[in-house]
């Protein structure tokens, strides 16, 4: 049985994904990275590229990215004015384990 901290972490993940815009953003990032994830590599994607598929302003997307990052679903890294996002493989593994348990 999962411990309290595990359940709390999963609840944060599911809460973050419950927002349709965050789910769409996360799914876009997963789509971008699925080949690299299958090979065990982390795939980086510029936030600007992800913005193209969403009908949202940059401040709104930044908020959603922060929520996904705080939930342990993605990593972010700033390079100059660019924000680079990548799926957190550990977060994916936790979701997968919870859904297949």
- What are the pLDDT digits (tens) for 14-64? 999 999 999 988 988 888 777 566 666 666 666 666 666 677 877 888 899
Residue 39: per-residue pLDDT: 64
Q: Is the per-residue pLDDT at 80 higher than 60? A: yes
Tell me 30's DSSP state.
H
- DSSP states of 10-27: HHHHHHHHTSHHHHHHHH
Domains of the chain listed by start with CATH number: 4-100 (1.10.10.10)
3-state secondary structure of 11: helix
Residue 28: per-residue pLDDT: 84
In this structure, the number of other CB atoms found within 10 A of the CB of residue 80 comes to 5
């Amino acid at each position: 049985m999962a411990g309290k901290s595990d359940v709390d972490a999963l609840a944060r993940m599911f809460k973050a994904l419950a927002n349709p815009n965050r789910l769409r953003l996360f799914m876009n990032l997963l789509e971008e990275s699925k080949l690299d994830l299958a090979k065990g590599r982390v795939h980086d994607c510029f936030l600007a590229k992800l913005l193209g598929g969403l009908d949202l302003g940059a401040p709104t997307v930044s908020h959603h990215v922060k929520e996904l990052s705080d939930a342990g679903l993605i990593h972010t890294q700033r390079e100059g004015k660019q924000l680079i996002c990548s799926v957190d493989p550990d977060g994916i593994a936790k979701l997968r384990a919870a859904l297949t348990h």
